[in-house]
Amino acid sequence: MDPIHYNDMQFTVEKRGEGWDILYAKGGEAPAVAAAGLFPGAAEAEARTRALKVIRTVFPVGIRSVGPDVAHPTRVGDLRIVGPDVLHPNFIYWDKDSVTPEP
């Protein structure tokens, strides 16, 4: 099966037993398993389509924005310093990604 290029990453979907594995290839390193044994009994075209949905979910396109934690400022004398709220980050998604178009 042709590799899936998504957000400057390369994935392959390979049949193993009854299911399909999604592998992530990084540079010249051996591929890492992103998911294993998915979509048992699915045909190659269906497995590729479903794998792309899994990849988009697991590796979303967007940025993480950490907003201020105004409820817990740090006091230094009469100054109130508001740090980031790292326990409740926001994730901003956008619609554009770099998926290789289907042939």
What confidence tens digit (pLDDT) does each residue in 34-74 have?
Answer: 899 999 999 999 999 999 989 988 887 766 666 676 777 77
pLDDT at 64: 64
Report the candidate in 53, 5, 6 with the shortest Cα–Cα distance to residue 35.
Answer: 53
* Mean predicted lDDT score pLDDT of the chain: 80
Give 6's pLDDT tier (boundaries 50, 70, 90): confident
**Which residues does residue 22 pair with via DSSP β-bridges, in sequence order?**
13, 35
pLDDT at 22: 95
* pTM for this model (two decimals): 0.60
